[in-house]
Amino acid sequence: MGRLGDLLRRPPILVVGPDPLADAVVRALRLARRRVARITPEQLARIAPTSIQTLILADPPDAAEWIARLLADERTGFGWARPTTRRLILMHAQDPPPSLPRPHPASRWRLETFAIGDRTARALLTRWPLHLGMDPRFEQAPHLLIVGRAALARPFLLQALRLLHYGAVRPRVTLLCAEEEAVVAELFESYPMASEIADIRGVSLDAWRADDPDGAARPAHDRGVAIWPERMASAPPMPREDCPGLDDSSRPITFVLVCPTPAEGDGLTLAHRLVRALARAQGVSPPVLVEVRGPLADGRIQDWDGQTIPFSVLHEACRPEVLLDGHGDEVARTIHDQYRDSIAAQGRDLGDEPAGQPWDRLETSYRQANRHQADHVWAKLAVIDCRAVSEDLVESFYLTPLEIERLALIEHQRWAADRHLDGWRYAPVRDNQRKHHPQLVPYAELSEPMKDLDRHAVRALPVLLARQGLGILRQLIVGVSVTAEVSPVGRRWRGLVEQLLERLSTRYPDRLLVLALTPDEPAACALARCALERDAGTGLVLLLSRPLCETLEGATDPAARTAILELIARAERRIVLRGESERCDWLARRASISLILGESAAAGPGIKQVRLDPDGGVLQWGFDY
C-alpha cells in the first residue's frame, strides 16, 4: 500500500477535505511540528477506524455521510475491541453545526464540531478585546464598527454582542456595508431581540469603495506585506459629507473590524481610508482589525500606522492550539466542572442531565453557553482594574461589595444578551416552549434572590481562575504628565526612574504597576520604555487625546517614530479620548498616583502626586511612600 501503509503503522493526524481549508490545516499543523497527513476520501475508505487517532474533516460537502460510514464501520467491522478514544473533528463554516449522526454511547469516536467563523471570532476578541480602545470606568461604552459583509462579519457581530456589556451605558454597533438596509433587516429577522442588546444601525459603504481605475495600487497581501501605510498616506482626502453616519463625536468609534467581500473592495485600502476619515470626523484612533485574503506576511514596524492589525481567518482557525488543544476553552471547562459538582452535591444523577455530561461528550449548545460565560471573564477584570496573573504572584484577593454589585450588573447583562440572541423575550411567566422569561429585565428590577444568582457567579470568579493556576492582581494606575521640557537621557534620569519604580513596588507590593500616558510626550514615552525594560510585566495604557496619524507625523525623527510604534504594540489599552481636556479629566478621575515630569502642578482632590525633574535631580513625593 506504500504511503497508506506508513499511515497505518504510525498514525498521524489525518486531514480530509477540499482546499483551501484542508491545505491551511496541514500547513498550520506542520509549522507547529505536528505529525499530519492529508489523505483523499478514497484512502480514508480503506483505513480501518481502529487505526486512526485523530481525523479532521475539513468542511467536506458530504460530512454527514462520512461520519455515518465511520460509525457504521466501527460497529459492524471492528466492534469495540480497541479502548483508545479517537477524535473526529468536523470543521464547518459557522454554528449551528449541520445535522449529524450521533455516536453510540459505547463508541470510541469522540465527535467534535468546530465552527470556523465562530472560533475565529472568539480568538480575535480574546487577543484584542472590545475594551482595547475604551475605558468603562470612565463612562465609556463600546462603539463597534464592522465594515463589510464577508463571512466573518456575522459570527464576529454575534460574539461581540455577547461581550460588549461593561456597565450602565448602552453599547452601539454600526454596520458599514453594501446594501446596508437589507443586511440590518436580515439580522433582525434572524435575531429579532438583538435590539435589546445594543443600538444597531446600518450605514452605506458606497462612499467608501476603493477607487483604483488604473490598477496601479495592488492589495497589500499581493505584494507580500501585511501593513501598507503608504496607501493610507496617498489615499485621496475624504470630506466629512462622504462619511454619513460616522461623524457623531458624541459616540466615537472605539473598535473596528474590516472584512469586506471582494465586491466591496480591498480590506487594507478600506481600513486606511477609514483611519484618516475617523481622525477627521471624530478625532479618534480606534484599533482596526483587517481581514486579508491570502497568507499573512511580515511587515516592518517602521511602516506601521499604529492602528491596522491584519489577520487571516484560516490562520486563526487552523492554529493547533485552537483547533486541537482547546485553547480558549480552559475557563469554560472549569465553569462546566463547577456545574457538574453542583449537580452531584444536590444528589442528582449526572447521567440524567444533558447539561451535566463530561465536556468531551457535551452537546455543542451547552459547550457554547459555558464558552460565552468564560469569554466575558476578561471584560469583568477590566471593569475592576484587575489582571489575571500566575497565582504564585498573588498572596490573597477578595472582591469588595461595590465590585461585586458592579460585576453582577454586567453578568446579568451578559446572561440577558445570550438569551436574547437565542430568541428569548420578557414575559411575567416563564414558558420554555415560547422562550418567555420573567428575568429579562434590567438588573435594578430583579428581586434580591435573583440578584444573588448573579452575585454568586461573580464571587466565584477568583476560584474559577485559581483552578487554571491564575490569581487576580489589582492595578496601580500611575498617570504621567509632562509640565516642562525635560531631558530623558543620561545617568541622572535613569537613576531617578529606577528609584521611583523601586519605591512604588516597595510601597505597593500587591499591586501591578500600570503607566497611563500620551504618546505625544517624548519624556513620558522614555519613562515607559525604562519601566518595561526593568519589568516586562508593567502595564501600559495609552491615552489617545488626538489621532495617532497626527502623532506619528509629528515624530520627524525615524527613531522616535519607531519608539512610539513599539509602545503602541506593547500597550494593553489604547483609550480613545476627545481632546486635551478629556485627557486631563481622565487623569484626574482614574489615576491613583499622578506622576509629574517637570515642574509642580496642582493635583486633584485625593490624588497622590510624585514629581520627577531629571534636570534638577529631584524626586519629590507628595505623600508618604
Reported as a single tens digit per residue, the pLDDT across 40-68 is 999 988 888 778 889 999 999 888 988 99
The mean pLDDT of 109-116, rounded to a whole number, is 91
pLDDT category at 69 given cuts 50, 70, 90 is confident
Q: How many helices (H) and strands (E) does the chain have?
A: 22, 21
Smallest CA-to-CA distance from 29 within 326, 330, 315 is with 315
pLDDT category at 230 given cuts 50, 70, 90 is very low
The mean pLDDT of 7-14, rounded to a whole number, is 68
H-run or E-run covering 411 = helix 401-421
Among the residue ranges 208-212, 454-458, 603-607, the one predicted with the least confidence is 208-212
- Cα 137 to the center of its chain, rounded Å: 19
pTM of the model: 0.89
Sorted by sequence, the CB contacts under 8 Å of residue 449 that are 6+ apart come out as none
- Tell whether the torsion through CA atoms of 341, 343, 346 and 349 is positive or negative: negative
Q: What are the residue ranges of CATH 1.10.490 in the chain?
A: 327-466
**383 CB-side CA count, 13 A:** 27
Q: How would DSSP label each residue in 565-586?
A: HHHHHH-SEEEE--SHHHHHHH
Query: What topology does CATH give the domain 327-466?
Result: Globin-like (1.10.490)
Residue with cell 469586506: 260
Sorted by sequence, the CB contacts under 8 Å of residue 297 that are 6+ apart come out as 221, 224, 225, 226
* pLDDT attached to residue 498: 93
Query: What topology does CATH give the domain 475-621?
Result: Rossmann fold (3.40.50)
* % of the chain exceeding 90 in pLDDT: 60
Q: What are the residue ranges of CATH 3.40.50.450 in the chain?
A: 475-621
What span, in angstroms and rounded, lies between the C-alpha atoms of 454 and 439? Answer: 12
The mean pLDDT of 441-467, rounded to a whole number, is 94
pLDDT category at 465 given cuts 50, 70, 90 is very high
* pLDDT attached to residue 481: 93
CATH class of 121-318: alpha beta
Smallest CA-to-CA distance from 162 within 400, 528, 410, 456 is with 410
C-alpha cell read off for 1: 500500500
- Taking only the tens place, the pLDDT of each residue in 292-309 is 987 777 778 988 999 999
pLDDT category at 364 given cuts 50, 70, 90 is confident
* pLDDT attached to residue 7: 47
Q: Are 570 and 536 in contact (CB under 8 A)?
A: no
3-state DSSP: the chain helix, strand, coil percent, rounded to 5? 45, 20, 35
Q: Are 305 and 229 in contact (CB under 8 A)?
A: yes
Q: Are 229 and 273 in contact (CB under 8 A)?
A: no
Distances (CA, A) of 154 to 220, 334, 340, 364: 24, 28, 32, 19
C-alpha cell read off for 392: 504564585
SS3 sequence of 132-199: HHCCHHHCCCCEEEEECCCCCHHHHHHHHHHHCCCCCCCCEEEEEECCHHHHHHHHHHHCCCHHHCCE
pLDDT category at 92 given cuts 50, 70, 90 is very high
* pLDDT attached to residue 429: 95
DSSP summary character for residue 308 = E
* pLDDT attached to residue 248: 65
Q: How would DSSP label each residue in 236-280?
A: PP--GGGSTT---TTS---EEEE---GGG--HHHHHHHHHHHHHH
The mean pLDDT of 283-291, rounded to a whole number, is 95
What span, in angstroms and rounded, lies between the C-alpha atoms of 96 and 113? Answer: 9
Smallest CA-to-CA distance from 389 within 223, 512, 286, 292 is with 512
What span, in angstroms and rounded, lies between the C-alpha atoms of 178 and 358? Answer: 44
Asked whether residue 545 carries a pLDDT value surpassing 70, the answer given is yes
Overall size of the chain counted in residues: 625
| Amino acid letter, 66 | W
Bridge partners of residue 56, in order along the sequence? 15, 89
* pLDDT attached to residue 525: 94
Q: Are 435 and 425 in contact (CB under 8 A)?
A: yes
C-alpha cell read off for 500: 521611583
* pLDDT attached to residue 170: 93
| Amino acid letter, 327 | H
The mean pLDDT of 452-459, rounded to a whole number, is 94
Angle 580-582-588 (CA atoms, 0-180°, nearest 5)? 105
Task: Count Cβ atoms below 10 Å from residue 178 Cβ, excluding itself.
Answer: 18
What span, in angstroms and rounded, lies between the C-alpha atoms of 90 and 561? Answer: 46
Top pLDDT among 59 and 82 is at 59
Asked whether residue 324 carries a pLDDT value surpassing 70, the answer given is yes
Q: Are 309 and 128 in contact (CB under 8 A)?
A: yes
Whole-number mean pLDDT of the chain? 86
Residue with cell 491564575: 470
- Taking only the tens place, the pLDDT of each residue in 197-229 is 999 999 988 755 543 333 333 333 332 223 323
Bridge partners of residue 114, in order along the sequence? 91
- Taking only the tens place, the pLDDT of each residue in 479-518 is 999 988 888 888 888 999 999 999 999 999 999 999 999 9
pLDDT category at 75 given cuts 50, 70, 90 is low
* pLDDT attached to residue 615: 80
Among the residue ranges 246-250, 273-277, 474-478, the one predicted with the least confidence is 246-250
Q: Where are the alpha helices (DSSP H) in 427-521?
A: 448-459, 461-466, 490-507
Q: Are 112 and 361 in contact (CB under 8 A)?
A: no
C-alpha cell read off for 55: 481525523
Residue with cell 497565582: 391
Sorted by sequence, the CB contacts under 8 Å of residue 22 that are 6+ apart come out as 15, 16, 38, 58
Distances (CA, A) of 294 to 127, 251, 403, 584: 21, 34, 45, 43
* pLDDT attached to residue 350: 76
What span, in angstroms and rounded, lies between the C-alpha atoms of 482 and 477? Answer: 16
Angle 412-414-420 (CA atoms, 0-180°, nearest 5)? 100
Q: Are 87 and 55 in contact (CB under 8 A)?
A: yes
Distances (CA, A) of 42 to 6, 47, 64, 514: 16, 9, 16, 58
- Taking only the tens place, the pLDDT of each residue in 307-318 is 999 999 999 999
Asked whether residue 82 carries a pLDDT value surpassing 70, the answer given is no
* pLDDT attached to residue 202: 92
C-alpha cell read off for 445: 428590577
What span, in angstroms and rounded, lies between the C-alpha atoms of 314 and 328? Answer: 17
* pLDDT attached to residue 454: 94
